[in-house]
Homo-oligomer: A and B are copies of this chain.
Amino acid sequence: MKLTFSPGSPYARKVRIAAIELGLIDRIALVPTAVQPGKFNEDYSRTVNPLRKLPALILDDGSTIVDSFVIAEYLDDLAGGGKLFPAEGPDKWKRKTEHSIIQGMLEAMLLCRYEKAVRPENLRWQTWLDDRWDRAWQGFALFESLPSTFTRPFDITQIALICVLGYADFRFPDCGWRKAFPKLTAFNEKMMQRPSVKDTVPPPA
């Protein structure tokens, strides 16, 4: 299998952590890929993902799996199932809901990044930036108030949380999440002991 990725992509990091934890990383060739708004990478668009997003998992039969959540679910299934995702019951829907929220936080932060660093300076809109940032921040506040998130066996919610916190450090180092959210801070420090987490930290911005 091949995985398109970039070292800074929090979505790709989620899959890399899952693959390491599931013992599947040696079966995946990592293919560095550049995608950027305004660059029409037609080859990637036509053969891998019309959305031009990372990551995509390309199977040996040439078919492709997206997005990062579906890839992580697929890998969990490949490893026997029920490892990072509860196979059934109320917890199954709780983890999926938590992941959807974290995915939305990441999307909001990515839009903040585009607004602050990609859009021409004279076309930036503070109201939009504040709106998107507030969504991410409310998400952090939600997880800060759910302490059971931090003590469960390692799962997809924890992986996604690590990736969103790592992305905050990577692109918004002055946002102050550690000061505002002490439980998330302690969780993040504990998780940094895991090789899968430590070895996938984004490079210096």
Q: Measuring CB to CB, which residues of chain A are less than 8 angstroms from any residue of chain B? A: 37-38, 40, 45-46, 49-53, 63-67, 69-70, 73-74, 90, 93-94, 96-97, 100-101, 103-105, 107-108, 111, 114, 119-120, 123-125, 127-128, 130-131, 134-135, 138-139, 141-142
Contacts and interface: CB of A to CB of B under 8 A. Distances in A.
Contacts of A139: 50-51
Given A65-B93, A93-B65, A131-B38, A49 B123 contact: no
Nearest to A104: B51
Contacts of A131: 37-38, 40
Contact of A51 (B65, B101, B130): B101
25 contacts: A37-B131, A38-B128, A45-B138, A50-B101, A50-B138, A50-B141, A51-B104, A51-B139, A52-B135, A53-B104, A63-B90, A63-B94, A65-B96, A66-B100, A66-B101, A67-B100, A67-B104, A70-B93, A70-B96, A70-B97, A74-B93, A114-B128, A119-B125, A119-B128, A123-B123
A134 B63 CA distance: 22
A73 B93 CA distance: 9
Contacts of A130: 38
A135 B141 CA distance: 32
Contacts of A73: 96
A108 B108 CA distance: 13
Contact of A65 (B97, B104, B142): B97
B100 A38 contact: no
Given A37-B128, A38-B130, A51-B105, 5 more contacts: A50-B135, A50-B142, A51-B104, A63-B90, A123-B124
